[in-house]
Amino acid sequence: MDCTGKILGSKNGFDILECTVCGYAHSFPYPDPSLIEKVYSEEYYSDVKPDYIKRMEEDLDWWNINYDQRYDILEDNLGKRGSILDVGSGTGYFLKRGVDRGWDCTGFEPSKDASQYSIQTLGLNVINDFFNEESVRDIGLFDAIHMSQVLEHIPNPKELLHNSWAKLKENGILCISVPNDYNPFQLILRDSMGYPAWWESPPHHLNYFNMESLKKMMIDCFFKPIKSTVTFPIDIFLMMGKNYIDDDDLGRQCHNMRMEFEKQLNKAGKNNLKNNLYDSFSELGIGRELIVFGRKISA
Ligand SMILES: [Zn+2]
């Protein structure tokens, strides 16, 4: 494809191109696919995210509040609890929550470590593979597909959406979550406060979405967006002077504060207030991750 557009930044030998052909910003060139396969099948959780499983376990009550919000939206729009496929299911805790709520759950996870954990420790139905046309041929159709923190990592996000479309039942729902990069807080930090563009991280993050470009890609792939929101704008701590970049302890403290904020809202029965607040952030382009639900429409 003849990718072209404004260069937003450069790092690790890659440019980040605001590509007018693809419709979203991405690394240029894309790294070699064999490098990507190696990272996610062998090294990701041991080298890139060594404390990931331990921290998931510690933070599980907070994760479950967030997972419940996604399942609530799916159940409201499907009118039932059905079957769900989680692409890039990681340790499996999203699916575990689904099983506990009565969903029929399947996962695809390329990492050996993470998929083994989800199968052996959580007892889930997870396939240790990448989600592609070949690997999904015989797995049937689903009411819902979830993919959290996946599309930013791969060189062919539209292909993944096409494969998802093919694996959803009629009127099925796709839920996507990706980082919200080049967001207004990040640009203030970079342009006015002297921060580097720390979110630019090829070859790990290859694609960089905002709400508009994510929705456009979904529409291009025959999904009608039916609900969109964001997660807590964690970069607000940087603007308040807490420079957690490259400081894992401080990063953990900021994460704990945002968890506490959300857990207190939950405990007070004010999840609606939280949801309305984050929907308003979303209107302003603010929020650390984008979450969009799209319904399958005919191609
Ligand atoms: Zn492109």
Domains with residue ranges and CATH for the chain: 33-227+285-296 (3.40.50.150)
Residue-level pLDDT at 102: 98
Q: How far does residue 7's CA lie from ligand 1's centre (Å)? A: 12
Residue-level pLDDT at 46: 65
Measuring CA to CA, which residue among 170, 171, 174, 172 is closest to residue 158? Answer: 174
Q: How far does residue 10's CA lie from ligand 1's centre (Å)? A: 15
CB-CB neighbours of 120 under 10 Å: 9
Give residue 9's Cα distance to chain centre. 22
Beta strands per DSSP E along 221-275 = 223-230
- pLDDT tens per residue across all 299 residues of the chain: 699 999 999 999 999 999 999 999 999 999 888 877 777 777 666 665 668 888 999 999 999 999 999 999 999 999 999 999 999 999 999 999 999 999 999 999 999 989 999 999 999 999 999 998 889 888 999 999 999 999 999 999 999 999 999 999 999 999 999 999 999 999 999 999 999 999 999 988 999 999 999 999 999 999 999 999 999 999 999 999 999 999 999 999 999 999 999 999 999 999 999 999 999 999 999 999 999 999 999 98
Residue-level pLDDT at 119: 97
Torsion sign across C-alpha atoms 16, 18, 19, 23: positive
CA distances (Å), origin 220, targets 18, 162, 173, 181, 216:
17, 10, 15, 21, 6
Residue-level pLDDT at 105: 98
Q: Which residue bears the tokens 């002297």?
A: 194
Question: Any idea of the CA torsion for 153, 262, 280, 297, to the nearest 10 degrees?
Answer: 50
Per-position DSSP letters for 115-183, written without gaps between them: HHIIIIIT---EE-S---TTTTTTS--EEEEEEES-TTT-S-HHHHHHHHHHHEEEEEEEEEEEEB-S-
Q: How far does residue 46's CA lie from ligand 1's centre (Å)? A: 31
Q: Residues 218, 178, 248, CA angle at the centre, nearest 5°? A: 175
Q: How far does residue 251's CA lie from ligand 1's centre (Å)? A: 33
Residue-level pLDDT at 49: 66
Measuring CA to CA, which residue among 107, 281, 266, 100 is closest to residue 291? Answer: 281
Q: How far does residue 231's CA lie from ligand 1's centre (Å)? A: 27
> Looking at residue 195, what DSSP letter applies?
-
| Burial (CB count within 10 angstroms: exposed 0-12, middle 13-18, buried 19+), residue 260 | exposed
d(CA 272, CA 266): 9
Q: How far does residue 18's CA lie from ligand 1's centre (Å)? A: 8
Q: How far does residue 19's CA lie from ligand 1's centre (Å)? A: 5
Q: How far does residue 126's CA lie from ligand 1's centre (Å)? A: 32
Measuring CA to CA, which residue among 97, 106, 73, 104 is closest to residue 177? Answer: 73
Residue-level pLDDT at 54: 87
Residue-level pLDDT at 36: 79
Q: How far does residue 23's CA lie from ligand 1's centre (Å)? A: 7
Q: How far does residue 4's CA lie from ligand 1's centre (Å)? A: 6
Q: How far does residue 227's CA lie from ligand 1's centre (Å)? A: 26
Q: How far does residue 11's CA lie from ligand 1's centre (Å)? A: 17
Instruction: Kindly state the tokens that stand for 62.
Output: 């907070």
Residue-level pLDDT at 85: 98
Q: How far does residue 22's CA lie from ligand 1's centre (Å)? A: 4
Residue-level pLDDT at 48: 59
Q: How far does residue 155's CA lie from ligand 1's centre (Å)? A: 10
Instruction: Kindly state the tokens that stand for 199.
Output: 């979110």
Residue-level pLDDT at 45: 64
Q: Are strands 207-208 and 25-28 parallel, antiparallel or unpaired?
A: antiparallel
Q: How far does residue 28's CA lie from ligand 1's centre (Å)? A: 8
Residue-level pLDDT at 242: 97
Q: How far does residue 73's CA lie from ligand 1's centre (Å)? A: 32
Q: Counting every residue, how long is the chain?
A: 299
Measuring CA to CA, which residue among 121, 1, 146 is closest to residue 60? Answer: 121
